[in-house]
Structure 1
Amino acid sequence: MSRPRTLALIVAAGRGHRAGEGLPKQYRTIGGQAVLRRTVQAFLAHPQIDGVQVVIHPDDRELYDAAVEGLDFLPPVNGGASRQESVKLGLEALTADCVLIHDAARPFVAPAVIDRVLAALNNEDGVIPALPVSDSLRRGGSHIEAEVEREGLYRAQTPQGFRHAAILAAHRAVSLAATDDAAVLRAAGGRVAMVEGDEANMKLTTPADFARAETLLAAAMTSRTAMGYDVHRFGPGDHIWLCGLQIAHTHGLIGHSDADVGLHAITDALLGTIGDGDIGQHFPPSDPQWKGAASDRFLAHAAQLVRARGGRIDHVDLTIIAEAPKVGPHRDAMRQRIAAILGIGFGSVSVKATTTEGLGFTGRREGIAAQAVATVRLPAED
């Protein structure tokens, strides 16, 4: 018997700004990545999820595209005026046996939670993960008006799993201001089972939530440092490309691409942090498409590979070894350009220069060398 086709529907159409920074919370970053990206990746990585679709606000398409750049999954669906309408529009767009509906602002959903929901869904029309209430409860305003018995009370989480036909029929038949989809199914007469949730599967809403998320990520990350080195010789020309800048000079640098020795060294350093070969493997000089190519493309690619592993670039340090041209007048512009390509802060980029006191090929002004060191943080299990 074949496994039922199961898709994840990520609800990201909300416009809440309570988390600050002027962005909907699903597009804020934690650990250098958008919350939505982390959420989508959690489902893409699960072996029993056959596809992922996100419901977005139509005004957020640019934010969405930037958040999920490089990920391969179903195109987004525009949401509606309410959460229920957004979910309904997402469900209408899906073809599946089962669907897991998940809040975009819960990026820490664990594979085990997804496993428990899917296992229970074999015998149910609806399943939610939930945690028992452990705190004492009170009802009131400025003063306590009553105690509330906590026995039998649970905190609902997502993903909430459903038979696709059952939850779609419920959304078509029922209209109510529901906070989750289990309530919609129950209002339509369906039954919903509960499985164990996870304390880490929190919904990010307030600045305090985001601060806690950063702490959790920091504890789960490991630091890696790698080096890169590159050399290009001088040839005919009146300028060179160095750290993404065109600089007038008595000669040019010879290379298959634009021969930007600084960006090449940083690219190799970043690839080294994730153990993903070197620049020649990703952009072989034998391939004519890279002839004369701007090296910012190489560096941006390496940075994207780091981010795709859940990584965050903490710092890059570049040393240029040359008698000429002088780096000092261009240093800050170089730092700004590198920071812009990598999507990191100006203060996270260092550019230094030195000579070899007339010794060796750089001392003889035959070319330029560059050495780079990159430090990134990656998920500890990577």
Structure 2
Amino acid sequence: MTPDDGLLLAYLDGQLDEQETQTVTDLLERSRTARERVATLRAERDTAAEALGVLAPNALEGPNAYRAVQQFRRKDLTMIKMTKKTRTIAGAVAGIVLLAGLIALQPVRAFASDVLSLFRVESFAVVDVDPERIEEIASAIDEGMYWGQADFIESGEPLEAADLAEAEELVGFRPAAVEALGTPDGIGVLPDTVLEFSPELETLQAVFANLGLDPNVLPEAIDGEPFVITVQAGVGQIYEEDGIVITQIPAPQVDAPEGVNMQELGEAMLQLLGMSPEEAARLSRSIDFTTTLVLPIPTASLDSVQEVNVNGTNGLLFNDEGLWTDEHGYVEGGSALLWQQDGFVYLIAAQEATGTQVLALAEALE
């Protein structure tokens, strides 16, 4: 049984009391028909809001993990002109894969991503992180800490391309596409981006000390020296009706300061994420931190991550069954696939698709 539309709209707007909200939530967990009706009502409501020009800039932001993801995707596919439905796909589904809902607090995200993820992407590795450790890291960070100098430079604004041929002219490579999907509903060209980050060693050492770690495991050579991360222009393809987003970018390149031992730095970051010195040393021997993107995944999410073979190379397949939130109700899940091949990083995210179907899309890319 599906509740009347008035009740569902009140649910979407957060106007029900606690008992009524729980009743609708329980029904949506059991009934796909009810979930689809809620999705339809949400889309209709949002379309009307956009037409009236009253949609709040952050209306799509969900809980903290989703919010962190969407901040990342805003520099990517959400810069493309999209409908609300497609923004949800790009921001809440595709983005969740890249950051895995790891760290919602900005200082922690900056620390973990800007310091750990220094590489030219050729492969991926997953590291198990206890959610309690994330909270410990957050507690060890003082609000006024100075992390170093960071400069973010984009070569221009994201652009819309009329077709894949125009996108090719703009980025200098032919975007791979799935012929069976037909013509994309939208094609976005993402500009060249350069991030220069010069870390403050004293701050990093203070965080390590606050966590009971040896601050001297951090290489002194990183202090105040610039790490330059370059991401060349990429392409995002939107297939709105199918709920599919395909992103392709050249593998990011990193110029590290002379004398920095990336293996030592990576091993130190593994200790930060909760490993003992022995565990970090053992795992780091199997990871080349100059070529590998390390994705820290909360323990509870590990069951949704699977290493797979994609056209002869390793990739990570993520399956998300959806998320229930007090603020936004049921947020649709989906599947997404992340891999590197022939010098490019690919991400395919699909709403209401199985992992097998997403793998089939990857194999059909030409």
Q: TM-score range by the shorter chain?
A: under 0.3
User: Comparing both chains, which one has the higher relative contact order based on Cα–Cα distances under 8 Å and sequence gaps of 6 or more?
Assistant: 2
TM-score (norm 1): 0.20
TM-score (norm 2): 0.21
Structure whose residues are more often helix by fraction = 2
